[in-house]
Amino acid sequence: MKVPVPDEILPADRLGHVHFVGIGGAGLSGIARIMLARGIAVSGSDGTDSPTLQALRDLGATVHLGHAADQLGDADTVVVSTAVREDNPEYAEAVRRGLRVLPRSAALAAVMAGRRVVAVAGTHGKTTTTSLLTVALQAAGADPAYAIGGDLSATGVNAADGTGEVFVAEADESDGAFLHYAPYAAVVTNVEADHLDNWGTEEAYVAAFDEFAATVAADGFLVCCVDDPGAAALAERQRAAGRRVIEVSAGAPEALAGVTLWSPGAHYLADALAAHAAGVALGYDPADLARGVAAYTGTKRRMEPKGEAGGVRVYDSYAHHPTEIAGDLQAARALAGEGRVVVAFQPHLVSRTRIFGTAMGEALGAADEVVVLDVYLAREDADPAVTGALVAGAVPLPAAQVAFVPDLADAAAALAARARPGDLVLTLGAGTVTEVAPQVLALLGAADG
C-alpha cells in the first residue's frame, strides 16, 4: 500500500508515540531503532517473530505479533510499511481516529531532520555502498547516524543514531521514497530499469533519478559510478544543470590502491570507490576512509559467507535483478577457484518475474548447477502464468543441470544433492531463500559425518 507523504514532515521528536505497522522489516526496524535511541515511545506489530523484533523489545519497544486495532494504544503517529494492505486493522483504526499516518520515507525524513544527509541510491548496490560509507566515516572519526537496508556484519544492526552531524541513509527508489529526503549530498551507484510495477516505464524510472538528484542541496554534491551507462548519463545531465558531480570508475581505483576488499567483483569495487569519494567530498581524510573500507567485513545477505561443511562453502546474497545475479555470480566464480558454483535462486515479485524472468534465467547460466524456486510473492498476488518455471526454462545450461523446485522446503536437499567437495553453494534472492543456507550446511555436515 502506498501512503501519501504529508506536505509537512515533522522532526521525529514532535511525532509523539510512534506505532509501526510492519516493524520487523528492514526499513521500519531501522527507523524504530533510531527513535528508541532518542527516547521516543515506540510500538509496533508484525506477522511473525524474529531476532529483529526481539532486539527492538530489548531496546524498549512494545511489539505485537499479528495485527489488531487495539494495538495502536495511545499512538499519535502510525508508520506503515509498503507491504501492508489497505484492510490492515491497525491502518484502518489509525484512519478512523484521524491519526498522523506516515509512509516509511516520511518517517526516515523525520529522523534525518537537522543532520547533514548523504542519501545513497541506485538500482543495485545501495545497501553495500551505504554500509561502506558508514564504516569509512566511522574510521575517520565522524560517528555518523545511519539507516541501511541490511545489518552491518560488524555491528549486527541496520541503524544507529551516531553523535556526529552526518546521517548516511539508503535511499530506496522502488516506491519513490528517495524523492522526499532533501539530502546535502547523494550517491548513485547505477540506473537500470526496475520496479516498473510502480513506475510504469523505463523512461519514468530514469526520470525519477533526475528528480532525486535535483533534491540535493545547491552547495552539495552527487557521486556517480560512471561504469554504469545509466549513472554516467545522469552525471552528464546533472553536470549540465550546474550540479557538482564526482565520477568514480572501477577502471581507475587509485584511491583504494593497496586495499583488499571483503569480496571480489567489479561492482563491489565500484561501491567501495563511491563510498570513499563521498567521504572525501564531505571533508574527511582519504587515508582514514580507505582504512575503513579495508576493515569493512560485509553486510548481511550481501555475498555473506554462511559456513562450510563437507568441503563445500555456502554463501547467501540478496540479488534479485538480472544484473545483480550476474554480478554476484562473477564474485562467486572468483571465490570458488577450481570448484563449481551451485546456485539456488528465488525470484522476487510476480511483476518483476514477468518482466525480467527470461533475463534472470540467462544470468543464472553463469553457474554450473542451478535450482530455481517459485516466486516469492511479498506484497503481490500469485499469477499461475508467472512462476519460477519461467526462469528455470530460460537458463542456458543442459537440462540435467537445472531444476525447478517450487517448494522452499525441498530446495536445501536439491542443493546438497548437487554439491560436491570444493564447490561453492550460493543462495540468491530477496525473499525466504536465505533460510535455505543453514539447512544445506546441516545436510552436508550430516552426510560428511
Residue 297 assigned as binding residue = no
Active site residue 300: no
Active site residue 387: no
Transcribe 262-327 into DSSP letters.
SS--HHHHHHHHHHHHHHHHTT--HHHHHHHHHH---BTTSSEEEEEETTEEEEEE---SHHHHHH
Residue 155 assigned as binding residue = no
Residue 413 near residue 325 (C-beta atoms within 8 A): no
Residue 426 near residue 335 (C-beta atoms within 8 A): no
**Pairwise CA distance, residues 423 & 427, whole Å:** 13
Residue 323 near residue 193 (C-beta atoms within 8 A): no
Q: Classify each residue of 183-200 as buried b or exposed e, where b means 16 or more C-beta atoms within 10 Å of its C-beta.
A: bbbbbbbbbbbbbbbbbe
* Residue 354: φ, ψ to 5°: -60, -40
Other beta carbons within 10 angstroms of residue 280's beta carbon come to 18
**Pairwise CA distance, residues 72 & 128, whole Å:** 34
Residue 125 assigned as binding residue = yes
Residue 134 assigned as binding residue = no
Active site residue 170: yes
Dihedral class, residue 208 (left if φ above 0, else alpha if ψ from -120 to 50, else beta): alpha
Pairing of strands 304-309, 312-317: antiparallel
274 CB-contact burial (10 Å; exposed 0-12 / middle 13-18 / buried 19+): buried
Beta bridge partners, 313, equal 308, 424
Please identify which of the residues 90, 93, 170, 247 carries the catalytic annotation.
170
Please identify which of the residues 77, 82, 90, 126 carries the catalytic annotation.
126
CA dihedral 103, 382, 67, 28 (to 10 degrees): -30
Please identify which of the residues 52, 127, 189, 387 carries the catalytic annotation.
127
Residue 130 assigned as binding residue = no
| Secondary structure of residue 19 in the 3-state scheme | strand
Residue 127 assigned as binding residue = yes
Q: Would you state the cell numbers that stand for residue 317, as one nine-digit string?
A: 546474497
Residue 428 near residue 343 (C-beta atoms within 8 A): yes
Transcribe 248-272 into DSSP letters.
E-TT--GGGTTPPPSS--HHHHHHH
Residue 77 assigned as binding residue = no
Catalytic positions are: 126-127, 170
Binding residues for ATP: 122-128
Binding residues: 122-128
